[in-house]
Chains A and B, each alone.
Chain A
Amino acid sequence: MAKLKEYVIVISKNATYNERRAAKFLSDTIKKVGGRRPTLIYDDTEPTAYEIVIGRTEREVQLGAEFTRAVERAKEFEVRCVSSRLFVTGLGLIPEPAEFNPDASMNYGDIGTVFAVYYLVEKVMGHKFVYKTVLDMYSGSVDVEIDEKCNFIYNREMLLAQMPEKIDGTAMYYFNSVAPSTGGQGIIFKTREGKLVVIDGGLPVNTESFLKYLELLWDGEGVPVVSAWFFSHMHIDHFGVYHKICTTPEYRARLKVEGFYCDLLDDEFYAVKTSEPLQYHVEVRHVMMSEYEDLGVKVHTVKTGEHIVIDELDFEVIHTPSDVVNNPRKVNPNDSTVVYKLNVDNKQTIMFLGDAEGVCSDQMLEFHKDKLKSDVVQAGHHGVANVSGECYNAIDAKVFLYSSCLHTWYLEWGMEIHGAHDPGMKRQHYYMTRLGVKDENVYTNNHGMLTFKLPIEIK
């Protein structure tokens, strides 16, 4: 066993763009934190004792380390200690070159290797490079010991195998997608009395898992009963699960939903008036507004100021799309979000911003500023382009929850991990810095689901 600072970095003699940049990032970070740059060698040299092997190399053959790679595993990765070597690699394969597209990203099928190195730096070295204050530039250590404790697999099998931990009392379960780095939002609450409440649900691919989570958490008889299913807005990473349940009789038979709470606008909004007009969203709207007998669901259109109380959970509707539908600005689906503020037993407030953006932000500041103060906030739109600094100032939360995925969490400007939203994410980090949010009060589900006992402990 040796310390990170004793390791050399190995990459393929024919390393790809992403493998080289991953190696450079690790090399720079080790030097930044530890003061000395690790030696970098290529895989056409004899193996040495302590090596961090980045990406796909000959070392896998030389040292008998096998990885299951496939083109469709581009966003998956593995960190595995084999003897005294640490393999840090994506699980994708470079696909056949496609026709040149000037707007294509530089992911090249091996972005997983970059994610793997970021994971190593963030979780093993403890270097806060994603969200950090300027006065904490050199966090982390190169004295960490490299052993099996570093092992981590981020792949579809791992995500599928996750199950929520049952805890006593009021709980909140913050799920991520079972499809690697695809994001979305799905939250389940369980009250002291065992009632279940949901916000959104996530992508359709998560439906089976989400139902399993509900079944596991349900203590009552028969199929799980969701007392209230709150819906934020018309994007598939939010409506996917509920829409899939509604359109699949076998799924509808596996639960009951007492109330579906939403504010879905008229067909014309989704088909024409929004800045992202889509006929499909009209069809989805019709599905979600239907009251399926076997599901037992009653659809309830929420109004600003309304309270929906389930045991100790009091959800107040802070903002609805009906408030802004006549806004002269083009309202996009994100801005058609319903914003809820949860009061947990009068002990803590949590603001769920959904994917709220500029129109929501301005509306809330103009009409509901006095109601925005919250202890905890779900960072709007997965932490990327969302509400304004002025709005976050008014919310003034101590805890930030990100429902993100690797490509949003590890945004890296200029390298196209996630291009269009870059300034929004950086802006959000600045707001958090300005508010003095501590690292330990920032939670993200990007490496796996999170379980919170409510109220959330503020560190």
Chain B
Amino acid sequence: MPKLSQYSIVIEKDASYSSLAAAKFLANNISAATGYQIPVYTDDLPAKDFEIVVGQTNREELSDVCFERSEAREYEYEIRLVGTRLFMSGLGKVGEKIARPFNSYVSFSDGAIGTSLAAYRFVEETFGAGFLFPADLSLITDMDADKIEIDGRYDFKYTREDLYGERPEIADGAVMYSIPVMGSHRRFGNSAIFKASDGSFAVYNGGLEADAEHICDLLEYLNADKTQKPRVSAWLISLPMFGYSGALKAICEDEALKERISVDRVYYKVLSENFHTKGSATARTEHGEYRNALLFAGESLGCEMLEVNTGDVIKAGDIEFEVLYSPTEETESAPRVHYFDASVVYKAKFADMSVVLFGNARKRVSDYILSNGPEKFDCDVLVLSNHGKGGIARECYERIKAKKYMYQCCPAQYYGDNGEGFASDGGSITRTRNYLSELGISCGDICKDTYGIITFGNK
């Protein structure tokens, strides 16, 4: 079996920014972990047998490899071993977009972001997650490049079709499925389906509008009684915003989707239209649209609409949701209030376990936890706020003492590297990781739905 120490990195002669960044990242991490100064050269040089091919190059023709690339696949990627040549490539259509008007602050988009994400995946799979924890000295990795085999385990495909095509194991009893949101390349949103022992469902958020069909597909798949439509006894919304209430909005607006499921009750909280559209930091006109669409859901779906308040308990079969925090009028008038401060925080209890769903909670929740006591927030699994980007103080994590932490996020967020043009709010994702690291949370206690559905409960 070929070893990493036999390999070189090859990139296109006129490589895109993201391919260059990917090659640098790979070489940096391989040499720092193993001491092997992996050679890097361009594809105008003669091919060798052992090459890590980064991005789109002439080696594809040489190895008779074809990647299905398109503009819509910019954030998707594939890692594939063909013979002894390891290909890692984004599936976007490569080429710097010479955009006018030119925006100096926009993320760099050259169609090849997926190549950078592929390089991150390779490093994570090979050397662990140490690169994500820049200050954790316990995660320094030292390995021998002569002992790292380049073999069939490097076979990763991160595409919308693959994630949408995934079907989880249908478990008995009450279960939570954390669902990757794939409706957008940059996947700002989160989604989970809870299945109660009686076969009914609760949905948490649901993701983007484009995820609506996927949610319906999954509910139908998980529904034990195929003669009946899946029944969602509770649809809980954390925030009226595209990545959270978007799927519900899309279902309300699509007769065919509406026909596929039944919804008993929608639980939500909205503040004044002014708060959503103007009054808070990052308020936008479109947030108002999601707010109003949410208020329309009862009429559209023929279901009950229930505003939630802190302390409410919602029953969905044998699953219980406690409302740990819900915004109030006071939230609206708080100084420097952020739109995410309007997030509702739920705690799900099922199958002898508890999961706190922070949504996009920020400082208001953080302050609430510290001033009202963290006991209510104690849980087995803590779903990190804002996809791990963090709006919650270190002291909260310290006092809550969750056993496991979960990221509901896409690779571009999980690999939080703002400089690559990933929309990750780099500093804040690093800060939250640092909190976990300083609290002694091991990588084994951190999970993510980035690459597939995560199931909690039953087992």
Contacts and interface: CB of A to CB of B under 8 A. Distances in A.
A313 to B, nearest CB: 29
Contacts of A322: none
A23 B134 CA distance: 10
A21 B134 contact: yes
B428 A137 contact: no
Interface in A1-34: 17-18, 20-21, 23-25, 27-29, 31-32
Given A134-B24, A390-B98, 6 more contacts: A27-B140, A32-B31, A40-B137, A415-B134, A415-B426, A423-B419
Interface in B11-46: 11, 15, 17, 20-21, 23-24, 27-28, 31-32, 35-37, 40-42
B155 interface: no
B366 A100 contact: yes
Contacts of A23: 137
Contacts of B366: 100, 102
B41 A358 contact: no
B104 A414 contact: no
Contacts of B434: 17, 106
A367 interface: no
Contact of B363 (A100, A134, A389): A100
Contacts of A390: 98, 102
B371 interface: no
A138 to B, nearest CB: 5
A137 B27 CA distance: 7
Across the A-B interface, the 10 shortest Cβ-Cβ residue pairs? A413-B419, A414-B426, A416-B427, A385-B104, A28-B32, A20-B135, A21-B135, A100-B393, A35-B35, A357-B104
Contact of B427 (A24, A100, A419, A425): A419
Among B36, B137, B142, the one with the most A-chain Cβ atoms within 10 Å of its Cβ is B137
A413 B31 contact: no
B45 to A, nearest CB: 11
A433 to B, nearest CB: 7
Interface in A359-404: 359, 361-362, 365, 381, 385-391
B189 interface: no
A37 interface: yes
A55 to B, nearest CB: 12
Among B28, B106, B419, B424, the one with the most A-chain Cβ atoms within 10 Å of its Cβ is B419
Interface in A90-135: 100-103, 105-106, 134-135
A138 B32 CA distance: 11
B142 to A, nearest CB: 6
B427 A415 contact: yes
Given A137-B31, A423-B107, A430-B20, A106 B427 contact: yes
B40 A419 contact: no
B137 A361 contact: no
A40 B416 CA distance: 27
Contacts of B108: 423, 426-427, 430
A88 interface: no
A358 B102 contact: yes
A359 B105 CA distance: 12
Contacts of A357: 104
Contacts of A194: none
A353 to B, nearest CB: 12
A358 B17 contact: no
A182 B356 CA distance: 42
Interface string B93-108: 0001010111111111
Given A423-B107, A427-B108, A358 B101 contact: yes
B298 interface: no
A420 interface: yes
A24 B37 contact: no
B97 to A, nearest CB: 10
B305 to A, nearest CB: 31
B429 interface: yes
A430 B31 contact: no
A415 B395 CA distance: 20
A229 to B, nearest CB: 27
Contact of A416 (B42, B142, B420, B426): B426
13 contacts: A21-B134, A24-B140, A32-B31, A35-B35, A100-B366, A105-B427, A137-B27, A137-B28, A358-B101, A358-B102, A365-B100, A422-B418, A423-B106
A36 interface: yes
A31 B141 CA distance: 11
B105 A362 contact: no
Contact of A24 (B17, B134, B392): B134
B37 A329 contact: no
B431 interface: yes
Contacts of A361: 102, 104
A429 to B, nearest CB: 9
B96 to A, nearest CB: 7
Contacts of A134: 11, 15, 20, 23-24, 27, 40
A9 to B, nearest CB: 10
